Amino acid sequence: MRGVRGRGRATAGAVALALLAAACTSEPAEPPSGTEVSGVAIAPPGRIVTVEVGELEFSVRCAGTPNPPQPPVVLVSALGVGLQQSWDAVQGRIADFARVCAYDRLGVGQSSRGPRTQTFEDMASQLDGLVTELGLDRPIVLVAHSLGGYVAASFAQRRPDDVAGLLLLDAPGPGYPQSVLDLLPRNASKRGAEERDLWESLLEPKDNAENLDGREAFAATASLSPLGDVPLVALSHTITTHPDSTGPRQQANLESAWEEGQQRWLALSSRARLERVDLAGHDIQNDQPEAVVQAVLDLVD
């Protein structure tokens, strides 16, 4: 069954909180009533429909001409964040020149509940099935925000020939999650413990919305294999905010670790570049949508 769904909106907070809070607390919104449609291809732009992949259901919103000459674009959200909160500012603009689809992963919005435990590779496999069910021509361009970057990178490792380009929006680089755990203390009474606790909550599947097994998933992303000459663009924030309880020296150390992670993204491809986006925090697609749209246009062209 394919039906229209709805979502709520939320504003971004601090970088660390934006990365993690939604993943830990996401609750599905009540869907509004709507008409049934026979397939995602005929759904009007801005309408969210349900697409079945095997026994699983995914909330999906597509826009743009079904068969343009450019490769289709798939938008991959941050962990636990709904597609509207992630992509409302850019999806319609991308639809001017490419077929573009956004979706909610298992455990988010009105998509099916996920299995008891998941890794980024599991999520990449689900994305592979969804691309097939949507009838999108391959190769595709993947645009991934935050921890969704690990899903996109895992997909690209599985099927490098199916990826025309990879755009990462403020995605923590390989090894960054472990750096946070190493740099910040466990003792709840010490500075930085609050931020560490947020990342630690992703280690246990029962503690986050998508049932991510962070111990296994983050270990796998720390050793991603090279992608050859797959075009890769990493856009990174220039406005950084951490919880007040994280001290200035700790914040500086975390930003150094962040930069090291961005360089590790670049090392994955022989055709990679890093761009720091002026006046952009963690939600680059909302803070500077034109920069994201231009980066997508560059990749599809």
* Residues 87-119: tens digit of each pLDDT: 999 999 999 999 999 999 999 999 999 999 999
The lowest-confidence range among 28-42, 129-143, 261-275 is 28-42
pLDDT for 301 equals 86
Confirm if 143 and 73 have CB atoms less than 8 A apart.
Answer: yes
H or E element that contains 52 = strand 49-53
Q: Is 253 left (phi over 0), alpha (psi -120 to 50) or beta?
A: alpha
Average pLDDT on 161-171 reads 98
2 has a pLDDT exceeding 80? no
145 has a pLDDT exceeding 90? yes
Query: What interhelical angle do 214-221 and 120-134 show, nearest 10?
Result: 80
Alpha-carbon gap, residue 284 to 118, rounded angstroms: 26
pLDDT for 38 equals 32
pLDDT for 164 equals 98
The lowest-confidence range among 7-11, 146-150, 248-252, 276-280 is 7-11
CA atoms within 13 A on the CB side of 151: 29
Query: Among the residues of 29-147, which ranges form H helices?
Result: 83-87, 91-94, 120-134
Amino acid at 96: D
pLDDT for 18 equals 52
pLDDT for 187 equals 85
Average pLDDT on 263-283 reads 97
Residue 156 three-state SS: helix
Stated pTM of the model: 0.88
DSSP state of 243: -
pLDDT for 41 equals 38
89's tokens: 């500012």
Confirm if 124 and 76 have CB atoms less than 8 A apart.
Answer: no
Confirm if 62 and 2 have CB atoms less than 8 A apart.
Answer: no
